[in-house]
Amino acid sequence: MNPTDLSVMALGGATVLYAIAMVAYAIRLARVADDKVAARAAVAVPAGGAADGLPVEAAAPASSPGAKAAKAAGIARSTTLVGAALHAVGLAARGIDAGHVPWSNMYEYTISGSFFAVLVFLIVQRRRDIAFLGAGVTGFATVALGLALTVLYKDVDTLPPALQSYWLVIHVSIATIVTGIFAVSFIATALQLMRDSRDRGTRWTGDRVRWLDAVPSAPALEALSFRLNAVGFVLWTFTVMAGAIWAEHAWGRYWGWDPKEVWSFVIWVLYAAYLHARTTQGWAGRRSAWLAIAGFAALIANFTVVNLFFQGLHTYAGS
């Protein structure tokens, strides 16, 4: 088996495993929410109808509280881990096949960016229980890998002269890692907004989104996404600076308002606004969360719209 086939097959396998993990994580969320309802019912019943024999029924599921959720969580975690391992194999094979780091065109950015998103999730998961983000992260990785393999796929090719620089390793690797971090924090922020709406009773109140009860409270989600965004913002600042140094090296100017540079600046400013908004009265909470969402939207636009539709010095990114 040659490296090309190995890479594509490993990435295809990772896609399938991520899809399974996404379903398992979703089931886990639903089970946890069910358990919460059951637990609440178990507490509520003795007050009302202890005589109807209802406590017996209520006690039955309580004998194995969280067993189904734990089973789903186990499946989810192991498929994610194996998926990430396959993903890593796919990336490494691609790099060996191409003879350079696997982030020099859109296909390669996509497969490495989604890998870093999963990796960030797994690293944070080791330190604190963030299984509630699992469905979002594996879903993101499934879609990204699926799109990469079907739409964006490009055969390996040599690096064009403009990319023959060690700055490709520094600047672009950090940029892809940041994309992964911001993707995970985006999911946390989205959950925060949904959970917040549910708690206020404004939106997402229905029974079909009862799984939202299984995610942490809005302030806890805010604290989580802030920590990720803080790391992401520092690394993004580094990305922009490293990019400027490389641009000075390659193009003879450190900043030239090329479309990619414009959008990198917009992303930086939006996340800076988010960090300020967090500590501003009237902006903390929902409004600052929307700024983080806007920042991630700009990040995605910088990767898609700018690569595909705008003319600029970074055009090889679209090839």
Partner 1 sequence: MARVKLDNYVIADAPRLGLRGWLRWIWRQVTSMRVALILLLLLALASIPGSVLPQWPQDAAATRQFISDNAFWGPVLDATGFLDVFGSAWFTAIYVLLFASLIGCIAPRAAHHYRELRRPVAATPRSLARYEGAGPETVASSPDDAVAAARAALRPRAGRLGALTGYRVRVDRREDGSLALAAETGHVRELGNLVFHASLVLVLLAVAYGTLFTYRGQAIVVEGRSFTNAVVAYDTFSSGSLFDPADLDPFTLRLDSLDAEFSDTGRPLHFQANVTFTEPGEDAVRTDISVNHPLESGDAKIYLQGNGYAPVITVRDAAGEVAFSGPVVFLAQDAAYTSTGVIKVPDVSTGEQLGFKATLYPTFLEGPFAVASIHPDPANPVIEMLAYTGDLGLDSGVPQNVYRLDESQLSPVQDADGQPVTLRLALGETVELPDGLGSVTFEELPRYGAFDLRADPSLPYLLVAAMLTLAGLAVSLFASRRKVWVVARSEGAATVVSGAAYAPAHDAGVAAVLERAMAAAAGREATAPAGEREPS
Report how far apart the first and last C-alpha atoms of the chain are (Å, whole number): 26
> Strand locations in 57-119, DSSP E?
none
The CB density around residue 74, as the number of other CB atoms within 10 Å, is 12
The two three-digit tokens of residue 202, written as one number? 């404004």
The pattern of x and - marking residues 138 through 157 that bind partner 1 according to CB under 8 A reads -------------------x
Residues 282-311 touching partner 1, rule: CB under 8 A, are 282-283, 291, 298, 306, 310-311
Q: Does 81 bind partner 1 (CB under 8 A)?
A: no
The two three-digit tokens of residue 272, written as one number? 């800076």
Closest to partner 1 by CB, 53 or 161: 161
The two three-digit tokens of residue 138, written as one number? 């594996």
How far apart CA 25 and CA 30 sit, in angstroms, is: 9
Q: Does 220 bind partner 1 (CB under 8 A)?
A: yes
218 alpha carbon, distance to own chain's centre: 18
CB of 137 to partner 1, least distance (A): 15
Q: Which residues contact 60 (CB under 8 A, 6 or more apart)?
A: none
Closest to partner 1 by CB, 104 or 114: 104
- Residue 102 in 3-state DSSP? coil
Q: Does 257 bind partner 1 (CB under 8 A)?
A: yes
Residue recorded with tokens 């399938």? 16
Instruction: From 40-48, 78-86, 104-112, 125-133, give the range in contact with partner 1 by CB under 8 A.
Output: 125-133
Residues that bind partner 1 (CB under 8 A): 32, 127-129, 131-132, 157-158, 160-162, 164-165, 167, 214-216, 219-220, 222-224, 226-227, 230-231, 233-234, 237-238, 241, 244-245, 248-254, 256-259, 262-263, 265-266, 269-270, 272-273, 275-277, 279-280, 282-283, 291, 298, 306, 310-311
